[in-house]
Amino acid sequence: MTQAQANDGSLVAGIDSSTQSCKVLLLRAEDGALVEQASAPHPDGTEVHPDHWWNALETAGGGILDRAAAIGVGAQQHGMVALDEAGAVVRPALLWNDLRSAPQTAALIKEFGGAQATADSVGSVLAASFTVTKLRWLAENEPENAARVAGVLLPHDWLTWQLGGRRSAPATDRGDASGTGYFATATGQWRPDLLRLALGHDAELPLVAAPNAVVGRTGSGAVLSAGTGDNMAAALGLGLVNGDVAVSIGTSGAAFAVTDSPIADPSGLAAGFADAAGGFLPLSCTINAAKILDTTARLLGVDHQGLSDLALRAEPGANGLTFLPYLDGERTPNRPDATGVMSGITSSTTAADLARAAVEGLLCSLADAVDALGLQPRRILLIGGGAKSEAVRRIAPSIWGVPVDVPEPGEYVGRGAARQAAWALAGGATPPEWPAPPAERYEADVEPLVRDQYAQLRDASGL
């Protein structure tokens, strides 16, 4: 990383270190306007040595980070970065999407006292993505490596520590800490007893910094903010406030919101995370989202534009055709062995009906994810690759029952990390007020028939 003096106090940088790549954004601290951005890929796999993240950050950040007066890191949640007494990485990090710890997950929930007790303790019922389950896997499967573990960081913690030259103690934030499984989200305190239960011995944990804290400086003098997890950074980048729910349609789906109060859902459908600004971030996921559109387009022999055009030709309810889109199992609801179900096919069923049923099935599945949050949104912000579909945009409000705003495509994780950096640079009780991203609004009359049809099929198929 260049050591040139960071002397432009008007610019801040946000880093999005995701599973696939590292993106670096340079924005104006005053209003969040984008100045420059770059990216570099990460290697594939569900375990990756953190050095690969650092190499990608150096590549993407070259010529950008040295111009920033403050830097924030947003990164994939849950990843286990295990360090020895010298601060060296013990083994490649196990990422959120490494599910080898599923057996350990079930065992830990039982040891924590069951689903309700687990949710009460750490805000969420554990899933195999959570860091604590990976520590138990390490203890059971690589005991020599487990014995070497003296400290545990998350991906964003490790990158922030690297950016500061390891001169300050490692730090994290409430948002990312709340995805570990050994952090009491409601009180904002580590639960070292739970980490010890999983790993078999104590390990050092990073300082949990305040949302506006300065946790270090780069060699060139740039302020380092606390950083956060990717979903928390996206919420900050979108400017979510109470009453908003964001729905992301990627390969998988997610619904999340910012609230003033924590949740403790014993069903496990909603994770009770903290956010990056002092509040909370309940979040629910679906396994199937944009892949529903991909699969249906392939079966119909059309591209995504063709699928959208077909769907908009059909009437609401798709002529009685209903698609339960649990193609690869599902998480919300928890049906890991489920497959997709199509009901109501007749001799009058058309390609347009099939396309419409796919879009409606996707949106009904995501409506279930929104319902799992236990909130009544006043509007939904629709993001992700699936939000490009005109059919999805136009049909969504008729199923979700609230106005739907579609922000212009953008790197909202990086933007949120940069906004946090600007907050650390300026100080103050609240993050800087940046203009909301431009968005197109969609409204429509509610079509209750669609969700009724879907619910009947979902419940009848829930064996």
Burial class (CB within 10 angstroms; exposed 0-12, middle 13-18, buried 19+) of 252 = middle
With respect to residue 232, please indicate whether it lies within any of the assigned structural domains: no
With respect to residue 299, please indicate whether it lies within any of the assigned structural domains: yes
pLDDT on residue 334: 87
With respect to residue 61, please indicate whether it lies within any of the assigned structural domains: yes
pLDDT on residue 463: 54
Shared-domain flag, residues 197 and 343:
no
Distance from C-alpha of 188 to C-alpha of 49, rounded to nearest angstrom: 29
Shared-domain flag, residues 202 and 271:
no
Question: Final residue of a domain: which of 201, 226, 251?
Answer: 226
Pick from 40, 45, 112, 53: nearest CA to 81: 53
Distance from C-alpha of 414 to C-alpha of 57, rounded to nearest angstrom: 13
Question: Final residue of a domain: which of 169, 194, 226?
Answer: 226
Locate tokens 């979040």: which residue? 283
Question: Final residue of a domain: which of 185, 201, 226?
Answer: 226
pLDDT on residue 292: 97
Q: Between helices 102-111 and 115-122, what is the axis angle to 10°? A: 90
Shared-domain flag, residues 155 and 46:
yes
Domain of residue 206: give its range.
11-226
With respect to residue 2, please indicate whether it lies within any of the assigned structural domains: no
With respect to residue 234, please indicate whether it lies within any of the assigned structural domains: no
Structural domain count of the chain: 2
Shared-domain flag, residues 220 and 350:
no
Shared-domain flag, residues 71 and 125:
yes
With respect to residue 255, please indicate whether it lies within any of the assigned structural domains: yes
With respect to residue 231, please indicate whether it lies within any of the assigned structural domains: no
Active site residues: 230
Sheet bearing 271-274, strands edge to edge: 271-274, 280-286, 253-257, 244-249, 379-383, 404-407, 439-442
Distance from C-alpha of 371 to C-alpha of 397, rounded to nearest angstrom: 15
pTM equals: 0.93
pLDDT on residue 2: 39
- The CATH number covering residue 206 comes to 3.30.420.40
pLDDT on residue 231: 95
Shared-domain flag, residues 189 and 264:
no
- 3-state SS of the chain: helix, strand, coil percent to 5? 35, 25, 40
Residue 114 DSSP code: S
Burial class (CB within 10 angstroms; exposed 0-12, middle 13-18, buried 19+) of 109 = buried
- Which pLDDT tens digits describe the chain residue by residue (463 residues)? 433 444 467 999 999 999 999 999 999 999 999 999 999 999 999 999 999 999 999 999 999 999 999 999 999 999 999 999 999 999 999 999 999 999 999 999 999 999 999 999 999 999 999 999 999 999 999 999 999 999 999 999 999 999 999 999 999 999 999 999 999 999 999 999 999 999 999 999 999 999 999 999 999 999 999 999 999 999 999 999 999 999 999 988 999 999 999 999 999 999 999 999 999 999 999 999 999 999 999 999 999 999 999 999 999 999 999 999 999 999 899 888 899 999 999 999 999 999 999 999 999 999 999 999 999 999 999 999 999 999 999 999 999 999 999 999 999 999 999 999 999 999 999 999 999 999 999 999 999 999 999 999 999 987 5
C-alpha distances (whole Å) from 205 to each of 16, 46, 157, 309, 432 are 23, 23, 10, 52, 29
Distance from C-alpha of 82 to C-alpha of 92, rounded to nearest angstrom: 8
Q: Strand, coil or helix: what is 66?
A: helix
Helix runs in 62-181, H state only: 102-111, 115-122, 131-141, 143-148, 155-163, 174-177
